[in-house]
Amino acid sequence: MSQAATAGHGAVDTYETPLTPESWGKLGMWIFLAGDAMSFGALLAAYGAYRFGAADWPNPGDALGITLTAGMTFLLICSSVTMVKSLEAMQAGDRPSAIRFLSMTVGGGIIFLGLQAYEWTHLIHEGMKLAENAFIIDGNGVVVGNLVHGDQVGPGQMIGNSLFGTTFYMTTGFHGLHVFSGVVYLSIVLIKMIGGSYGPGNTNVIEIAGLYWHFVDLVWILVFTFVYLV
């Protein structure tokens, strides 16, 4: 047996290659996010396939509230900024600022979830359900009435495709679940930060949690565009 093999038995390989990551935890989070991105990709691809294959798809701008969701987008972008500011502050040794910025991030996530619950409640009252649609549209998809409001389907008009609600609730619901998970995840990091677990030379956990939160923001940017604006 060679000397190297004998000496190396059971020892941790300390050699670095160009593929060795800066942090194994960060690599793990990136691999998780890549898998998660494919889940969102599948949902958005299914949305696109259903939408462009249907002649009775309501115009999202008419059926959904763009102003509210634009505000929700702004909120998530702000929360991403406070997340990186928290990391930056901790790396600089400014713990109070790091705690303040991370608290703002968690608060932003909670407000986002509250706004989403408000939006869903409003849409459900408007007759847009998981497998039902009450919007009356014309031949161009423009919403001209609503069965819930007692409107009738006129000549050249039709009831919107029921998959409109299905794809909407599945996609935004899956994203909302990620926001909820992110709020729980960041709250745990915040509690540990308040407890003094992190310091200027120990910010890896904050950076990894930040990666998850920025991913949630990134996905919403795409969901907002494809589901609400296009």
Partner 1 sequence: MANESHEHPNYMLIFWWLLGLTILEVMVPVVITASVPKIALLVSMAVAKAALVALYFMHLRFEKSMLGVIALTPMIICAFLLFMLMPDSSWRWIG
Q: What would the two tokens of residue 88 be? A: 């930056």
Nearest residue (CB) to partner 1, 104 versus 147: 104
Q: What would the two tokens of residue 45 be? A: 């691809």
Q: Centre a 10 Å sphere on the Cβ of residue 92 and count the other Cβ atoms it contains.
A: 12
CB 206, CB 101: distance < 8 Å: no
- Interface residues with partner 1 (CB under 8 A) are 18-19, 21-27, 30-31, 33-35, 37-38, 41-42, 44-46, 48-55, 61, 66, 70, 73-74, 77-78, 80-81, 83-85, 88, 91, 201-204, 207, 210-211, 214-215, 217-218, 221-222, 224-226, 229-230
Classify burial at 198, counting beta carbons within 10 Å of its beta carbon; exposed 0-12, middle 13-18, buried 19 or more. Answer: buried
| Phi and psi, residue 44, nearest 5° | -70, -35
Nearest residue (CB) to partner 1, 73 versus 172: 73
Q: To the nearest whole angstrom, how small is the minimum distance from the Cβ of residue 84 to partner 1?
A: 5
Nearest residue (CB) to partner 1, 74 versus 118: 74
Nearest residue (CB) to partner 1, 37 versus 147: 37
Q: To the nearest whole angstrom, how small is the minimum distance from the Cβ of residue 23 to partner 1?
A: 4
Q: To the nearest whole angstrom, how small is the minimum distance from the Cβ of residue 3 to partner 1?
A: 27
Nearest residue (CB) to partner 1, 111 versus 124: 111
Long-range contacts of 150-156, Cβ-Cβ distance < 8 Å, separation of 24 or more: none
The DSSP secondary structure of 70-91, one letter per residue, reads: HHHHHHHHHHHHHHHHHHHHHH
